């Protein structure tokens, strides 16, 4: 494997980084009390990737088995125990555990534990996931047609 072709052709380098302080408030607060932080949105990385931190409440649930057609998704457990669906079944992932899911890979995640949990989720390439995180808690109030369009718009296909 080799490095990709250069995308920066200058000779001096640039000052063009993003800094998000640790104490930045959550971007989304779910009705259950969970929080989602847009650590590095697709827009801020020019579509390179999206990085999100989810702070999950005890027994906070999460999405069941699904897949994406256009993006990979990776999970890194920061704290607590998170149930991850691997396509073959659910496993208990603990602090420091990592799961990479290529496009088309069946996966899901949830917090079934009695304690809070926190994970990093990385999407690559970057996709506009912010609206998904902002509105996913409202899918129960959507019509079936609206819900279907919402999931398709956000490259989310549920396993049968």
Which residues lie below 8 Å from residue 27, measured CB to CB, with a gap of 6+? 36, 37, 38, 130, 133, 134
Residue 33 within a domain: yes
Residue 82 within a domain: yes
Contact 101, 86 (CB under 8 A): no
Number of structural domains (the chain) is 1
Residue 18 within a domain: no
Residue 19 within a domain: no
- pLDDT attached to residue 61: 86
Please tell me whether the peptide bond between 3 and the residue prior to it is cis, using omega within 30 degrees of 0: no
The partner residues of 59 in beta bridges, in order of sequence, read: none
- Give the angle subtended at the CA of 147 by the CAs of 62 and 137, to the nearest 5°: 40
Residue 68 domain boundaries? 28-158
- Residues composing the chain: 160
Residue 108 within a domain: yes
Start-to-end C-alpha separation, the chain: 36
Q: Which of 49, 93, 57, 55 is nearest to 75 (CA)?
A: 93
In the chain, which residues have pLDDT < 50? none
Residue 128 within a domain: yes
- Tell me the pTM: 0.91
Query: Whose structure tokens read 């989602």?
Result: 36
- pLDDT attached to residue 154: 95
For position 147, which CATH number holds? 2.60.120.10
């Amino acid at each position: 494997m080799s490095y990709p072709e250069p995308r920066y052709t200058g000779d001096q380098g640039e000052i063009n980084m993003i800094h998000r302080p640790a104490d930045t408030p959550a971007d989304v607060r779910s009705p259950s009390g969970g929080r989602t932080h847009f650590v590095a949105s697709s827009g801020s990385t020019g579509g390179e990737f999206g990085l999100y931190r989810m702070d999950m409440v005890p027994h906070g649930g999460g999405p069941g088995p699904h897949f994406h057609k256009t993006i990979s998704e990776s999970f890194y457990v920061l704290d607590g125990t998170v149930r991850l669906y691997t396509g073959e079944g659910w496993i208990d992932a603990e602090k420091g555990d990592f799961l990479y899911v290529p496009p088309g890979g069946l996966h899901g995640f949830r917090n079934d534990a009695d304690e809070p949990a926190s994970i990093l989720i990385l999407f690559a390439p970057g996709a506009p996931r912010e609206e998904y995180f902002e509105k996913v808690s409202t899918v129960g109030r959507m019509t079936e047609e609206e819900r279907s369009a919402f999931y398709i718009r956000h490259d989310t296909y549920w396993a049968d």
